[in-house]
Chains A and B, each alone.
Chain A
């Protein structure tokens, strides 16, 4: 089909995870039915479809890790495991009949905007072309597994598994296993593998701050109450939201609360680890909050099992048989597990995005990404992003942020229709002022306090996190200020 024959949809969405499906759902509820979702995999679920490693779970209480417009009374644990979260996403898709909007196995290779028609065109690896008035990039910031840059990685003759691409057929029983990485996925995988492997070695580069995780099975009466009285669940949700908001004062900024949280984390470590040297090796030397704060009550005990050992020597290389560390020893394994997270595009874009007059977003972002309210970028009319620059939460549920971005997109798309205009393009100076303020505020946060993290680019520019409370973020997203935008009419001329 030639480009001109291709139908023009109202909205095209890249990605069928929480963000993409949630956007489609709310657009539908607001009368925008003509939506196409392009999904590179064969199923919905995004990061929760891919992260099925043993122990995978959410760091945010389950009642808060769901959309407020589609709450789930069935959560069985205070912190839901990945299978339950996946079930919730599947339930969303069935309940709101969203699957019919998704074109599976379509890997987007580019997005481009046509000035004259005001239409976005997505191309896919499979040769499809999809056109729409608005485009939503909801591919997720944590969707591409990242492997560490270790010499000899390809030489290893044993089994390799990445946490985001788990091989459930592999039997760890009786095996010697090395886990590389002790971040969010590492601390969840290690306790599970320690139960199965004959020998487990955990390679840590930098220890993280770890707070206890109060995970428990939810009583049946609670589920019954939530089913019958959704307001009760909303009240619990609001309570959890406020509790997490209050923690922001200790995670985002250097306040006495930060010191209190560090004390709590150290007490947790002291309580669980008796050996002084191991405790030293597990104690971070950066401010709590500078990197992602983890929640686990079973990581430290797992490290002290007879079959498990923490290795903090720097990794020199990977050989045919295992991992060689700086103290000159080759640690030999049957299987290497990479719990090394994702490539986070805090500069550049996951695929080329061409805006007005052929400008390319990756080029403009090569020194660090920036946007307006993390959702629009000047010069890219009607392009919306979920988890765009500076929308990362450090203390609260990602879904709270996603939800306010979704509502903003709904406003944007419905505004186009109600005003009868071709496009909304955020003004360049408005975006610049917004980012100046953001960076000024970011400079005072713990994220910019000197540690290296995936939140920052190599130059130390923070294009990832939002420097404030989730409620502040939600408030700024509540209104779409038309004065911040150039309104492009049918002819393409600014109004």
Chain B
């Protein structure tokens, strides 16, 4: 089992905090973004910061479910750190002239639906679900998106910022997989019954209806920007490899469900994509006004280092 001492990890997290004010956002290098890159990068960064923000809200919900004070505190920090990543990514966008004033990047409709679902139902989800989904998002982020970004972007400040973000994400993943294994402890039939009970939860079904099209749309967006699809799939396979390396990890029914889902996502020929891609197309017809204003937790995002 991935043996992580959560208390030591908490100390590490506390001792490695950084702030936007530590970074010189005006230092030279922004000019290295080419005119060709600019529009694609803007779309990419926008998706990226929203994924971070959505992940942040996921950690906020997980903090409520944590069984120990240490884990609760770790998730509270991770909530803040994911928000910091979103803030820092917005600060980079601002540096590259992609944001005006206090505007937020526009979330696509699938992100918007996911935000709505998180706002309404994430606090009601059991830790098993969020604790198994969030690592998948993080590993995709860490293993594919960030690496791609650093290969494409020449601005040294971008590298400096993502070095910090990557260090945080590595700690998140360490804890994520540790918890996934903890969630695989106990009698198998009990774990299975509990999972079957949760699968039928209408709130979860709505969550799947928001999450699955989001993944497909992000995949399409990212591929359009030049990321090789295989990179994303390699990252998702990594989830299966790390999550399934121990008996406890493999016994976690939610790991199995999400791994199987990952296999469907990476197989372009799988029939799974037909209804999901249809949902993506359908979601384009949802008027943004139908969702009402964004929840106020979204308004806490800022690119300003000081307040």
List B contacts of A322 (CB < 8 A).
Answer: 306
Does more than half of chain B's interface fall in helix, strand or loop, or is it mixed?
A: helix
**Closest Cβ neighbor of A317 among chain B residues:** B17
Task: Verify A327–B87 contact, CB threshold 8 A.
Answer: yes
**Closest Cβ neighbor of A278 among chain B residues:** B296
Whether A223 is near chain B, meaning CB under 8 Å from some CB there, is no
The distance from the CB of B52 to the nearest CB of chain A, in whole angstroms, is 11
Task: Verify B76–A328 contact, CB threshold 8 A.
Answer: no
Contact of B304 among A285, A313, A329 (CB under 8 A): A329
Contact of A326 among B80, B88, B307 (CB under 8 A): B80
Contact of B305 among A280, A314, A330 (CB under 8 A): A330
**Closest Cβ neighbor of A451 among chain B residues:** B69
List A contacts of B119 (CB < 8 A).
Answer: 276-277
Task: Verify A280–B296 contact, CB threshold 8 A.
Answer: no
Given the contacts A316-B17, A316-B19, A328 and B84 also touching, CB distance less than 8 Å:
yes
Task: Verify A314–B19 contact, CB threshold 8 A.
Answer: no
List A contacts of B19 (CB < 8 A).
Answer: 316, 324, 328-330
Whether B297 is near chain A, meaning CB under 8 Å from some CB there, is yes
Whether A154 is near chain B, meaning CB under 8 Å from some CB there, is no
List A contacts of B81 (CB < 8 A).
Answer: 326-327
Whether B77 is near chain A, meaning CB under 8 Å from some CB there, is yes
Whether A481 is near chain B, meaning CB under 8 Å from some CB there, is no
Contact with B along A312-352 (1 / 0, CB 8 A): 01101101011011111111100000000000000000000
Task: Verify A313–B80 contact, CB threshold 8 A.
Answer: yes
Task: Verify B80–A331 contact, CB threshold 8 A.
Answer: no
Given the contacts A275-B296, A285-B64, A329 and B20 also touching, CB distance less than 8 Å:
yes
Distance, CA A319 to CA B123, complexed state (A): 33
The distance from the CB of A6 to the nearest CB of chain B, in whole angstroms, is 50
Task: Verify B295–A314 contact, CB threshold 8 A.
Answer: no
Contact of B302 among A278, A317, A329 (CB under 8 A): A329
Contact of A328 among B18, B73, B79, B296 (CB under 8 A): B18
**Closest Cβ neighbor of B17 among chain A residues:** A316
The distance from the CB of B144 to the nearest CB of chain A, in whole angstroms, is 24
Whether A213 is near chain B, meaning CB under 8 Å from some CB there, is no
Whether A411 is near chain B, meaning CB under 8 Å from some CB there, is no
**Closest Cβ neighbor of B65 among chain A residues:** A285
The distance from the CB of B162 to the nearest CB of chain A, in whole angstroms, is 14
Task: Verify B295–A332 contact, CB threshold 8 A.
Answer: no
Task: Verify B305–A329 contact, CB threshold 8 A.
Answer: yes
Task: Verify A332–B307 contact, CB threshold 8 A.
Answer: yes
The distance from the CB of A332 to the nearest CB of chain B, in whole angstroms, is 5
Contact with A along B51-93 (1 / 0, CB 8 A): 0000000000000100001000100110111011001100000
List A contacts of B189 (CB < 8 A).
Answer: none
Given the contacts A324-B19, A328-B20, A277 and B295 also touching, CB distance less than 8 Å:
yes
**Closest Cβ neighbor of B80 among chain A residues:** A326
Whether B289 is near chain A, meaning CB under 8 Å from some CB there, is no
List B contacts of A317 (CB < 8 A).
Answer: 17
Distance, CA A277 to CA B64, complexed state (A): 14
Whether A287 is near chain B, meaning CB under 8 Å from some CB there, is no
The distance from the CB of A406 to the nearest CB of chain B, in whole angstroms, is 38
Whether A268 is near chain B, meaning CB under 8 Å from some CB there, is no
Distance, CA A27 to CA B20, complexed state (A): 62
Task: Verify A330–B84 contact, CB threshold 8 A.
Answer: no
The distance from the CB of A223 to the nearest CB of chain B, in whole angstroms, is 46
Whether A452 is near chain B, meaning CB under 8 Å from some CB there, is yes
List B contacts of A313 (CB < 8 A).
Answer: 80, 83
Distance, CA A314 to CA B304, complexed state (A): 18
Whether B35 is near chain A, meaning CB under 8 Å from some CB there, is no
Contact of A327 among B69, B300, B306 (CB under 8 A): B300
List A contacts of B282 (CB < 8 A).
Answer: none
**Closest Cβ neighbor of B298 among chain A residues:** A277
Task: Verify A332–B306 contact, CB threshold 8 A.
Answer: yes
Whether B21 is near chain A, meaning CB under 8 Å from some CB there, is yes
The distance from the CB of A177 to the nearest CB of chain B, in whole angstroms, is 13
The distance from the CB of B25 to the nearest CB of chain A, in whole angstroms, is 12
List A contacts of B304 (CB < 8 A).
Answer: 329
Distance, CA A125 to CA B18, complexed state (A): 44
List A contacts of B300 (CB < 8 A).
Answer: 327
Contact of B88 among A276, A280, A328 (CB under 8 A): A328
Distance, CA A319 to CA B18, complexed state (A): 12
List A contacts of B79 (CB < 8 A).
Answer: 326
Contact with A along B279-293 (1 / 0, CB 8 A): 000000000000000
List A contacts of B295 (CB < 8 A).
Answer: 276-277
Task: Verify A330–B296 contact, CB threshold 8 A.
Answer: no
Task: Verify B64–A330 contact, CB threshold 8 A.
Answer: no
List A contacts of B18 (CB < 8 A).
Answer: 328
Contact of A324 among B17, B64, B77 (CB under 8 A): B17
* A/B interface sample: 23 pairs, CB < 8 A: A275-B296, A277-B295, A278-B296, A313-B83, A314-B76, A314-B80, A316-B14, A316-B19, A321-B306, A322-B306, A324-B19, A325-B80, A326-B84, A327-B300, A328-B18, A328-B20, A328-B87, A328-B88, A329-B19, A329-B20, A329-B87, A330-B305, A452-B69
Measured CB to CB, the residues of B under 8 A from A are: 14, 17-21, 64, 69, 73, 76-77, 79-81, 83-84, 87-88, 119, 123, 295-297, 300, 302, 304-307
